[in-house]
């Protein structure tokens, strides 16, 4: 019986280009989705469930085309394993999009950053991976940096966080950790090729998403609504930006998890939130203010990453 391994196959230095692309796409994704969910509902072309399905379809098509262009198709073995993270991602993405209708992206990312601690604890107690005290402290600092980012605005009640939003965010954090750890385990231990693994993941996501749409949406009313808003090109541009950036950012995540690990992915999302906070302060000044808390949080985040990555 093969031993399950979660060891890294790359380093931060060799993955810098991928990390830069991921952070750029993540900022674009959050701003596009936020703008879309803040647009008047009667002008919004797609519901959150349809948007999630469309993103999964785009990811699957990109992976299939990539494989065909590189090599001739080979026989693949059906896999139910990838349905587990697909379900987690489906629910998590729906929670995320619905949350953007009532809160800003930086606030939501503040609340779900507890996934870093969930992931670190799972490494320690579920997978038996060594977690040095410096790494544990680094995880705490990563979470703390994001809380500091929004401390002033939360204190001044400019962003109301209801108990329902808080509960949903913690469900989202648990789902995110579960999905990422499952994917990391499969990527590093499953015998299939990387492309085949991705196809099964996105195929399950597409099928489950379509099933959700069929059972939760009023399809005739949905078709009629799409015809009504077909003229709303600015909103459709947001849809294009949201789908493209979400799909491409999603395709980066398995690469990061395979080369590095899930905690690295989580603190990269934390770094993304700091960048996103600065951009949001410019585009949506009522949602975020740039002050000393932001600079302090950046320093704490860098300290947290340094401690987690320190070898000794």
- On the 0-12 / 13-18 / 19+ scale of CB atoms within 10 A, 164 is exposed
- On the 0-12 / 13-18 / 19+ scale of CB atoms within 10 A, 302 is middle
Q: State residue 2's pLDDT score.
A: 41
Q: State residue 130's pLDDT score.
A: 74
Q: State residue 5's pLDDT score.
A: 60
Q: State residue 291's pLDDT score.
A: 64
How far apart (Å, rounded) are the C-alpha atoms in residues 37 and 259? 33
Q: State residue 171's pLDDT score.
A: 93
Q: State residue 263's pLDDT score.
A: 73
Taking 3-state DSSP, the helix, strand and coil percentages for the chain, each rounded to the nearest 5, stand at 75, 0, 25
* Residue 157 φ/ψ region, left for φ over 0, alpha for ψ in the -120 to 50 degree band, beta for the rest: left
Q: State residue 9's pLDDT score.
A: 64
pLDDT digits (tens, 9 = 90+) for 267-295: 777 677 777 777 777 776 766 666 676 66
**How much is the pTM?**
0.74
Stretches where the chain sits below pLDDT 70 are 1-12, 14, 70-76, 145-146, 148-161, 229-232, 270, 284, 286-291, 293-295, 298, 309-312
DSSP state of 14: G
Helix (DSSP H) and strand (DSSP E) numbers for the chain: 13, 0
List the Cα angle 177/113/189 in 5-degree steps: 25
């Amino acid at each position: 019986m093969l031993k399950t391994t979660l060891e890294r196959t790359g380093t931060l230095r060799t993955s810098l280009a991928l990390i830069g692309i991921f952070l750029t796409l993540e900022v674009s994704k959050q701003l596009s989705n936020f703008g879309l969910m803040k647009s008047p509902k009667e002008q919004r072309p797609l519901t959150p469930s349809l948007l999630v399905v469309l993103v999964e379809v785009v990811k699957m098509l990109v992976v299939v085309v990539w494989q065909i262009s590189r090599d001739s198709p080979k026989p693949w073995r059906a896999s139910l394993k990838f349905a587990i993270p697909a379900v987690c991602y489906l629910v998590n993405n729906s929670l995320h999009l619905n949350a953007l209708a009532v809160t800003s992206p930086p606030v939501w990312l503040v609340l779900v950053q507890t996934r870093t601690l969930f992931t670190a604890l799972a490494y320690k107690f579920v997978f038996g991976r060594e977690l040095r005290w410096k790494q544990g402290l680094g995880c705490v600092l990563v979470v703390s940096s994001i809380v500091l980012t929004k401390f002033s605005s939360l204190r001044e009640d400019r962003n109301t966080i209801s108990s329902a939003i808080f509960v949903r965010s913690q469900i989202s954090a648990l789902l995110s950790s579960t999905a990422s750890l499952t994917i990391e385990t499969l990527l590093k231990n499953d015998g299939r090729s990387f492309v085949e693994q991705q196809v099964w993941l996105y195929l399950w996501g597409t099928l489950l998403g379509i099933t959700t749409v069929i059972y939760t949406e009023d399809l005739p009313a949905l078709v009629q609504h799409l015809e009504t808003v077909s003229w709303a090109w600015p909103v459709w541009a947001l849809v294009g930006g949201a789908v493209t950036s979400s799909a491409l950012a999603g395709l980066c995540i398995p690469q990061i998890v395979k080369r590095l690990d899930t905690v690295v992915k989580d603190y990269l999302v934390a770094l993304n939130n700091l960048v996103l906070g600065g951009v949001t302060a410019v585009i949506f000044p009522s949602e975020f203010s740039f002050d000393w808390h932001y600079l302090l949080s950046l320093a704490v985040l860098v300290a947290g990453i340094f401690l987690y990555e320190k070898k000794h």
